[in-house]
Copies of this chain bind each other. A is one copy, B any other.
Amino acid sequence: MRRALLLVILVPSVFFAQTPQDKVRAYRRANEHKILREFVSLLSIPNVAADTPNIRKNAELIVDMMKQRGLNPRLLEGQTPNVPPLVYGEWKIPGASRTLILYAHYDGQPTDPKQWNGTLPWQPVFRSAAFESGGKLVSAPADNEAINPEWRIYARAASDDKAGVMAILTAFDALKAAGLSPSANIKFVFEGEEEAGSSHLGEIIKLNKELLESDAWIICDGPVHQSGVKQVVFGARGDVNVDLTLYGAKRPLHSGHYGNWAPNPALLLARLLSTMKDDDGRVTIDGWYSDAEPLGDAERKAISEAPQYDNELKTQLGLRRTENAGKSLMELINIPSLNINGFSSGDVGALARNVIPTTASAVLDLRLVKGNDYRRQIQRLVDHIRKQGYFVVDHDPTDAERQEYPLLAKVMARAGGYNAERTRIDHPISLALIAAVQSTTKDKVVLLPSSGGSLPLSVITENLKTVTLSVPIANYDNNQHAENENLRLQNLWDGIETYAAIMLMRP
C-alpha cells in the first residue's frame, strides 16, 4: 500500500488525464512557499477597522496584489470620510452574460495583545499544531523545506477573514496558470469594515451599483463544519451589539462603611441579566423568538442530514452541559440569541478592593434570524429592562434623574446593526454552487440553512437584485474573534480548490 502510494506521487502528473481540480492542486503544491510569503505580508498589517491609517495600508496592499494579477483593482468609497474602502477588482470574460461576485473582508476584530499566548496578533508565526493541543512554534518554512499541512499560522485575521482574500486570489492564479477560464464574469469585493458591523457597506454599494450588480454574491467567511467537511451556507444571522450600564453611588464607597446600605451596581446588573435568560439559557424576554420565520422542508432536511458532531465538540471544549438542553447546535443557530460578550464592575484579581463600585457594564450581542428586525429586537430588550423597574437613559444620569428614579440604566445600541438573510436551498444558483463545491470533495457537503455567525448580507440584498451564499474555508477551531486566532494550512489549500471550482461553476 505504502509503495503504491509513493509511486503515484512520484509519477509526474502530466501522464494522467487531469481534472481542473488536479491542475489547481498542482499549481498550489508548486507555489506553497510563495503563497505563504504573500499571506504573511498581508497578515502583518494591523487591521482593526477603526485604525484608519493601518486599515488603508491593508487596502493598498490588496490593490497591489490585484494589480500584479491584472485584475484592474480600485478602491470604492462612500460619502463618509475615513471609512475603510471596498477593494474591487474584476476578471471579465468575453461574451459572458452572468456575473459572480466573490466577497471576503480584510478587517479583523479588536484584540488585546496581552491575551495572546507567546505571540502577537500582527506578527504572524507558524505552530506545528493548535496551541491548545500543544502545538509548538516552528520557523517559517525554508524554500526547500516541505510544508506540513497540519501546521497553523497564528495571527489576527489569519482565518477571519484574510484567509478569504488569499484563497480567492490564489484560486485565480491557479486557474490562470492552468489556462482555465470561467463562464461567468468574476468580480472581487474585499470589505474593510465587516467586523465593525459593515456600517457603510450600504452607502458604498448605493454609489457603485453598476459595478456591484451580479447574479450572486459568494461570501468566503467563517469556518467549515466542525467535522472538517466542507459546507455551503445559505444565510447568516443578523447582529447588533448593545452597551448596558447600571449605576450605584456617584463615588466609590468603602464596602464596610456602606455595604448593605448603598446599592451595588454589580449586584443590580447580575440580577438584571438573570432576568433575561433562564437556567437553561433560553431567552425570557417577551417576544424574543416570536418573529422568527420557520425553516422550509429543504432546510429542515439539510439540518437532519448534517453530521452529528455535538458530543465530540463538547468533549473538545470541556463542556458537560450545553444551553437549551436537548437541542443540537445546528438547530440552535437557527433561532435568535442573546449573548453576554463581557461584563465588568470594579476590579478582580490583584487590583480588587473593598469598594462598592459606581457602575457596572455589560456588552450584549443580539443575533437575529430571518423574520427578526434588529431595531424591534433592541426595543424588546429595552422594554424588558423597563419592566424590571429601570428608567432607561441614553447618557450618564443627571443629578435630577438620580434623585427621581431608584433604578437607572443606560442602554446604547452600537452602530452597524443589520438583519439576517437567507437564500433558498433549492434556488438554481444554490444548486449550481452545491454542485461546484461537491465536485471538490468525496465527503457529502454539509448544507447549512444559516450560519450562526453574522454577515451583512441584508445590506447587499436590500440594495442590489441578487442573492447571497457563503462557502467558508477556515478550520472550526480557529479562535476567530478571540486571542490566538489561527488558520490550519490544509484549510487554505482546500479553500483554494473550492474557490477555483466556484469560479468555474455555471450560474
- Contacts from A to B (Cβ < 8 Å): 109-112, 132, 222-223, 237, 239, 241, 243, 247-264, 266-267, 269-271, 273-274, 277, 279, 281, 310, 315-324, 327, 329, 332-333, 335, 337-357, 360-363, 365, 367, 397, 399, 402-407, 451-454, 476-477, 479-484
Are A263's CB and B322's CB within 8 A?
A: yes
Within 8 Å by CB of A477, from B251, B271, B344, B352, lies: B251
Q: A112-B351, A261-B332, A343-B343 are in contact. Are A254 and B402 (CB under 8 A)?
A: no
Instruction: Give Cα distance in the complex from A406 to B325, angstroms.
Output: 12
Residue among A267, A339, A405, A454 with max Cβ neighbours from chain B (10 Å): A339
* A132 B273 Cβ-Cβ under 8 A: no
**B365 near A241 (CB under 8 angstroms)?**
no
For residue A478, give the distance in angstroms from its CB to the closest CB of chain B. Answer: 9
Q: Is the CB of B333 within 8 A of A340?
A: no
The CA-CA distance from A342 to B405 in the complex, in Å, is 24
Query: Complex: how many Å from CA A351 to CA B481?
Result: 11
Q: Which of A320, A402, A453 has the most CB of B within 10 A?
A: A320
A-B contacts besides A271-B273, A341-B346, 8 pairs, CB < 8 Å? A110-B350, A249-B317, A256-B333, A261-B324, A267-B274, A318-B399, A342-B344, A343-B343
Q: A251-B132, A317-B250, A343-B345 are in contact. Are A352 and B241 (CB under 8 A)?
A: yes
Question: Which 6 pairs from chain A and chain B are nearest by CB?
Answer: A342-B346, A256-B453, A252-B482, A318-B402, A321-B406, A249-B317
Which of B258, B320, B363 meets A404, CB within 8 Å? B320
A342–B320 touching, CB < 8 Å: no
Contact, CB under 8 Å: B342 / A347: yes
Bound-state Cα–Cα, A257 to B159, Å:
14
Measured CB to CB, the nearest residue on chain B to A319 is B249
Q: Is the CB of B322 within 8 A of A262?
A: yes
Would you give 27 A-B contacts (Cβ < 8 Å), ordered by A? A110-B352, A112-B347, A249-B319, A252-B483, A253-B317, A254-B482, A255-B339, A256-B367, A257-B333, A257-B451, A257-B452, A259-B365, A260-B332, A260-B339, A260-B367, A261-B310, A261-B324, A263-B323, A266-B273, A266-B342, A267-B274, A320-B402, A339-B356, A340-B357, A341-B357, A343-B348, A352-B363
In-complex Cβ contact of A452 among B252, B258, B333 (8 A): B258
Known: A252-B481, A267-B277, A332-B260. A346 touches B340 (CB 8 A): yes
- In the complex the two chains form, what is the Cα distance from A481 to B354 in whole Å? 7
Closest approach, in angstroms, between the C-beta of A299 and any C-beta of chain B? 17
Most buried by B among A112, A237, A253: A253
B342 and A254 form a contact (CB under 8 A): no
**CA of A343 to CA of B349, assembled, Å:** 9
- Residue of A110, A274, A477 most packed against chain B (CB within 10 A): A274
Bound together, the chains give a CA A347 to CA B187 distance in angstroms of: 38
CA distance A277 to B264 in the complex (A): 11
A296 and B322 alpha carbons, distance in the complex (Å): 53
